[in-house]
Amino acid sequence: MSTGFTSSLTFAGKETIIYLGSITLIAGIVGGFLDIVVFLSLKTFRRSPCGFYLTVMSISNIGQMVTGLLSRILTTGFNIDWTLTSLFYCKFRLYCYQVCSLISMTCICLASIDQYFATCSRPRVQQWSNVNLARRLSAIFTVIWIVHNAPFLIYYDHIVSSTTDKVTCIITNNVFDQYTTYSITVTLGKILPIGITLLFGFLAYRNVQQITYRTLPMVRRELDKQLTVMVLVQIVFGFFTITPYTIIYILLKVPQLSQDPTNAAYLQYATALTTCMLYIYFAVSIF
């Protein structure tokens, strides 16, 4: 591959982050606030545990936009990297992003499980779908992820290169670095939520197909259908936007692929594109 083509791929990746990322950032923040307003203003959603999960998810998504995508746009497009000038931001940015990401993915999992409970024909199972339980579970998992990600505040640090005197913000513990890559980012943040949501989304969809034949109030039936459709659309959209990023992220961790200039150029562009796709999932307001 010629040097010119490699440079073109690098430039294309940079432009993708700047323009597509900026549009995604604006849409994500505005859409997230609109979601919150809708869920909090309508009584039917306020009384729904699924609506509560989606409200918490929308708040978390805004946190991801601010701590994740905004920083990437500034770094890539304008060479403004606050992690290099502030030790606090170096530690806090990825910590906050991971907490918000795990809360968001947990909420969509809980929402899909809740819709399975709500649409189930067995009354005993339906009792598991209630707002009080939703509030408790959301609080419990929020505390879990806040504590679980505390090592980000410890092991992220400024390292000064002995040859170039440049400051970098990186993980200083190799064991935690591996744990972050394969356990937090890939398993807890991507593969496990996708599997859970697909499973319970399918079960909820099957329940909804039979809900017309049950003796339920019309308003309750329509609300269950609406919430199930909302969750299912989010699940399907998430599968097609999160999966490419996960694959590229794993490939980036293979040293042999990154050593070749041709593969490195392709991976760099693929990273920019799939990163935008990932944030689009958290940004698009489908509700």
- Percentage above 90 pLDDT, the chain: 46
Tokens of 99: 């907490």
> Given this model, what pLDDT does residue 97 score?
94
pLDDT at 224: 65
All structural domains of the chain with their residue ranges? 19-283
Q: Are strands 167-171 and 156-160 parallel, antiparallel or unpaired?
A: antiparallel
CB atoms inside a 10 Å sphere around CB 241: 18
Average pLDDT of span 80-99: 92
What are all long-range contacts of 216-219, with beta carbons under 8 Å and residues at least 24 apart? 219/44
Higher-confidence residue: 6 or 125? 125
Give the chain's mean pLDDT: 86
Q: Which CATH number fits domain 19-283: 1.10.3720.10, 2.60.40.10, 1.10.600.10, 1.20.1070.10?
A: 1.20.1070.10
Q: What is the mean predicted confidence (pLDDT) over 31-59?
A: 87
Question: In the predicted model, is pLDDT for residue 105 greater than 60?
Answer: yes
Give the mean pLDDT of 173-196.
Answer: 92
Query: What pLDDT is attached to residue 165?
Result: 80
pLDDT band of 2, cuts 50, 70, 90: low
Is residue 237 very low, low, confident or very high in pLDDT (cuts 50, 70, 90)? Answer: confident
Q: Which pTM was predicted?
A: 0.90
Give the lowest-confidence range in 34-43, 151-160, 203-212. 203-212
Lowest mean pLDDT, pick from 11-25, 40-54, 149-163: 40-54
